[in-house]
Chain A
Amino acid sequence: MQLLARRDATLALIIAALVAAIVWRAPVFASAGNLDTVLNDGAILTIMALAQMHALVTRGVDLSVGAVMALSGMLAALLSRAHPELPALLAMGVAAGSGLLLGAANGALIAGLAMPPIVVTLGTMSVYRGLVFVISGGAWVNAHELGAGFLRFPHERLLGLTWLTWIGVLVVAVCYLSLHHRRAGRELYALGGNPAAARYLGIDVARRELGVYSITGALAGLCGYLWVARYAVAYTETALGFEMQTIAACVIGGVSIRGGRGGVVGCLLGATFLVVLFNALPVIDVSPFWQMAISGATILVAVALNARGERRRSPSGRAGRTSIARGAPTAAAGAKAT
C-alpha cells in the first residue's frame, strides 16, 4: 500500500510540473474553455481506464472496449434518431445496458470456457466493430438527427461542472468504494495475484470474472453514449483504437499487467496525464498526428519504469531471501520489534 501511495504522489507531481510547463509556454491552456475540454476528455478516459483496470487487475485485458463504446453509442444514437423526444437518461441506460450485455458475452467466454482474455476480446473487438456497420448501414448519425435532450445532457452544468465531469467523479467514487470496501472488489486483487490460491480459498472465480467483464462493458456502453453525445455524431469508427489509450492510462497509473496490483487513484492520474498531454499538443502547436506516437512512447516509458519498481533486489530473482552479513543481521521489513 505504501509503495503505491509513493508512486501516485510522484505521478501527481509530474503532472503538476507538466501543466506548469505548458501554461508557461502557452497561457491559453489555462483558459476556462480549454480546462473544460480537459475535464471532459479526462472524464471519459478516466471512466474507461477504471474499466480496463478491473480487467487488468484480474490478469486479463479487454481489447474490445472501444468497439463496445461504438456499438452502444450507435444503438443509443439510432434510438434517439427514431425517437428524438426520449430523455437522455434513457438513452444512457440503453447504452450502458447494451454494453453490459456485450461485456457479459466476453465474460461468459472467458469465465465459462476458460478462454484467454486477449484472444476473446481481440475477436469480439472485430465482431462488435463490424456490427456497428451492420446496424447503421455504414451511414453516420449526425447532430441534427439526434434528440436535443440527448445532446444537451452531458454539457449541462451543476455547480459549475458539466454532468459529464460529475459522472466521471461518481464512477471514480463508486469504483474506489467497491474495490476497497466490498468483498467482491478485494477478491479481484486476490484473483489476479494468485489465481490458484484464490480458487482454493473458495473465491468464485468464474462469477468474479463474469462480473469484471460485465462492468467493463457497462462502463464502455455508458461512455459510448457520452462520447456520441459530446461529439454529436455516431459512426463506425467511433473511438477507434481507444482501448490502447485506456491501457496506456492504466500502465502509466501503475496498474500491473500481471495482475493483482493497481489503484483507482493511479488510474485517475494516468488518465489525467494523457489527457493533459494530448490537449497540450494543439496548444503548443504540435500536429495532432503526433498523438499516436506520443501515446506509444508514453506506454513504453511507463511500463519500463513500472518494471524497475517491481524488480526484486536480488540478482537471482529471489524475493530478498538472502543477504550477505554486514555486521548486524538485516532487519526484516515490517517488523515492529527487533
Chain B
Amino acid sequence: MSIAILRAAVVLYVASAALYLAYFSRPRHARLATVGFWALTAAFVVHAAAIGAGCREFGGMEFFTLHGGVVLAAWLGAGAYLVLQRIYRVPTLGAFVLPLVLLVLVPAALADPAHPDVPPEVVRHAAFHVVAAILSLALFGIAFGVSVMYLLQEREVKGKRFGALFSRLPSLESLDRLNQRLVRAGFAVFTVALLAGTLNATVVWKSAWSWDPQQITSVLVWLLFGAMVELRRLGWHGRRYAVLTLVGFLVMAGAMGGLRAFPGATRHAGNYGTEAGAGGAP
C-alpha cells in the first residue's frame, strides 16, 4: 500500500527533476523552474502520504531499515530544498539536488520493503534520534549538491571558461555561504541526534557507549563536521571547504547506509538486542 503511494511520488519527483534540468539548460524559460517547484511540492505531499501509510503498516519500524531510512532521507531532503527555495531562490540548485533524491529513492521504490522486525520499545525510544540523524544526512546531502555546484563554477571562473555553466550557476560567494549554512545546520541537527542517541543507548542498552561500529563512525563524522564549522571560523572557505563537504557527506552516507547493508554488524540494524552486553562491549 505505502509502496504504491511512494511510486506515485517518484513519478512526480521524476517530472520535477526533468523540469529543473530543462530549466538549467534553458534558463530563459523561468516557468520551467516554477512548474518544477510545484511538481516537487506535489511529490513532497504524496511522499508524505506514503510515509504516513508506511507508519500505519509497520508502526514506525521501517525507519530503522535502509529502505525506510532512505525514503525518509529523500523526503526530508526534498522538504529542506523546498524551504531553501523559498528563502534563497536558487532554482538551478534543483538540477543538482533532485537527481540526488532520485538516485536513492528510485531503488527504494523499486524494491519491496522487507518487513522490519524492530522491538517496539526501541522504536518508541529512538524515533526522535533516528529522524534527527536522517534530517542531518538530508541537509548534508543538499550541501553536497551545493558543493558540486561550487566546484563546477570555480572551475569556470578560475579557468576563464565563461561557458554555459558560468552563466547558469550562481556566484561563488553565494554558493559558499549557502554551503556553510547547510553544514552548520546539519552539524547542529546531527549533534542533537547524537545526544538523543546516547540517551537512548543509556536507557535501552544500559550503556552510553558500546563500541558499536555505528557509534564509532558517527563520532568520526561528528568530529569531521565539527572541524569544518571550526575551520570556517578560522577563514577556511571556497574550494577546500567544498571538497571537505563532499568527503564528509560521502563518509556519513557510507557509514549510515553501508552498515545497514550488513544486518547484525551493528546494533543499529538487525540485532537491536535490548539485553545488556549483546553488542559485546569490552
Partners in one complex: no
Q: Give the B-binding residues of A (Cβ under 8 A).
A: none
Q: Give the A-binding residues of B (Cβ under 8 A).
A: none
